[in-house]
Amino acid sequence: MIDLRSDTLTKPTAGMRQAMAGAEVGDDVYGEDPTVKALEERVAGLLGKEAALFSPTGSMANVLAVRSLVGVGQEVLCEASAHIARAELGVHGAVTGLTMRTWVGKPLDLVTIQSMYAPDMGPFFVATRAISVENTHNFGGGAVVPLPELEALREFADERGLGVHLDGARLWNAHVATGTPLASYGAVADVVAVALSKGLGAPVGSLVAGTAETIAEARVWRKRLGGGMRQVGILAAAGLYALDHHVERLAEDHEHARLLAEVCGVDPATVDTNIVVVPMADPARVVAAAREEGVLVSAVGATSLRLVTHLDVTRSDAEKAAAVLARLLG
Ligand SMILES: *Cc1c(COP(=O)(O)O)cnc(C)c1O
């Protein structure tokens, strides 16, 4: 089976498993796991932040990140299909007590954000405290948010005293696709979440990065949420291995995605990274027919097909899948 449903489906490679097996470990709740510390320092450094914290999931990393900027009865603005709004099942409201207001459309729409901004009017209304941006934008088809747009957002946020959260579950893809240094993305946000378990191919793990103070507080909240982990250097080792071996190769995933786009009638120039969205009337039919031919793809609602390339999809897999899809869509 060639699995194009998601880049979360990758399995640890032999080299990664070896790195995990040999990892030096300790009790990370005691702050004694050297491999976790090494990963946290490495990621903080890459993003140009003072500190970072290992988190079991990206969703928990986002909770820790957003709650560092927004309190009870305050709001975060985000795009309507953002992961924090659509895929985290209400945790930000339930745990943090914040509210969300969303704009529809572009992953980052500064003009709309400016019109949505609600200043602090005292104890009668919800005040905007932060803006959350996803890069790349998952449900936006892996779209890269250009750095100048993020810099303009940063400027607006500074003028109003707002925080910026960057959901960078696939920030590595944006970095590789554009050549923009990770630290340049880090500089536009107060707090950044990145995932190791998407395109980087680690089995588990995300990190949240920010100031030393933010991360110290995030460490307390992670424990409170049940995310204090023990000899977790085994997992951090997978992350370190992925950073060494699986970042630059994301370019191959992007190339494979463009190859798939072409046969599906999607302009490859509109495919920024590793996700292809193919608009169509009856995606369920194609999902079922492709499965019969050994290719797994997913439907997004009843309007489109979604193909995601990753570490476990080789060039020849991409070509085989392209031939199957060309036949089914032709
Ligand atoms: C996958 C993802 C996350 C985090 O997901 P987990 O499954 O909780 O690790 C967050 N944001 C985006 C954009 C994602 O794609």
- 125 CA distance to ligand 1 middle (Å): 30
The pairing of beta strand 163-168 with beta strand 127-134: parallel
Given a contact cutoff of 8 angstroms between Cβ atoms, the answer to whether 98 and 76 are in contact is yes
- Determine whether the shortest distance from the Cβ of 167 to ligand 1 is under 6 A: yes
Count CA atoms within 13 Å of residue 226 on its CB side: 2
Nearest to 142 by CA among 203, 199, 219: 199
- Determine whether the shortest distance from the Cβ of 55 to ligand 1 is under 6 A: no
Which residue from 59, 66, 225 has its CB within 8 A of the most atoms of ligand 1, so it is best to mutate? 59
- 71 CA distance to ligand 1 middle (Å): 22
Whole-model pTM above 0.85? yes
Report the residue count for the chain.
330
pLDDT digits (tens, 9 = 90+) for 96-105: 999 999 999 8
Task: List the beta bridge partners of residue 171.
Answer: none
Which domains are delineated in the chain?
A: 14-245 (3.40.640.10), 249-329 (3.90.1150.10)
Question: Collapsing DSSP states into helix, strand and coil, what is residue 137?
Answer: strand
What's the rounded mean pLDDT across residues 303-316? 97
- 123 CA distance to ligand 1 middle (Å): 34
From residue 62, alpha-carbon distances to 75, 85, 287 in Å are: 15, 11, 31
- Determine whether the shortest distance from the Cβ of 59 to ligand 1 is under 6 A: yes
Q: What is the reported pLDDT for 191?
A: 99
Given a contact cutoff of 8 angstroms between Cβ atoms, the answer to whether 194 and 183 are in contact is no
- Determine whether the shortest distance from the Cβ of 273 to ligand 1 is under 6 A: no
pLDDT digits (tens, 9 = 90+) for 192-215: 999 999 999 999 999 999 999 999
pLDDT digits (tens, 9 = 90+) for 84-122: 999 999 999 999 999 999 999 899 999 999 999 999 999
Q: Given the structure tokens 């030096």, which residue do they identify?
A: 24
Q: What are phi and psi of 26, to 5 degrees?
A: -160, 180
pLDDT digits (tens, 9 = 90+) for 29-45: 999 999 999 999 999 99
Q: What is the reported pLDDT for 13?
A: 98
Distance separating alpha carbons of residues 70 and 110, to the nearest angstrom: 19
Given a contact cutoff of 8 angstroms between Cβ atoms, the answer to whether 107 and 134 are in contact is yes
Give 92's DSSP letter.
I
pLDDT digits (tens, 9 = 90+) for 223-253: 999 999 999 999 999 999 999 999 999 999 9
Given a contact cutoff of 8 angstroms between Cβ atoms, the answer to whether 286 and 250 are in contact is no
- 326 CA distance to ligand 1 middle (Å): 30
Alpha-carbon dihedral sign for residues 32, 34, 36, 38: positive
Give residue 140's pLDDT band: very low, low, confident or very high (50, 70, 90): confident
Across the chain, where does the E strand assignment appear?
2-3, 51-55, 74-79, 99-103, 127-134, 163-168, 191-195, 206-210, 275-279, 295-296, 298-300, 304-308
- Determine whether the shortest distance from the Cβ of 83 to ligand 1 is under 6 A: yes
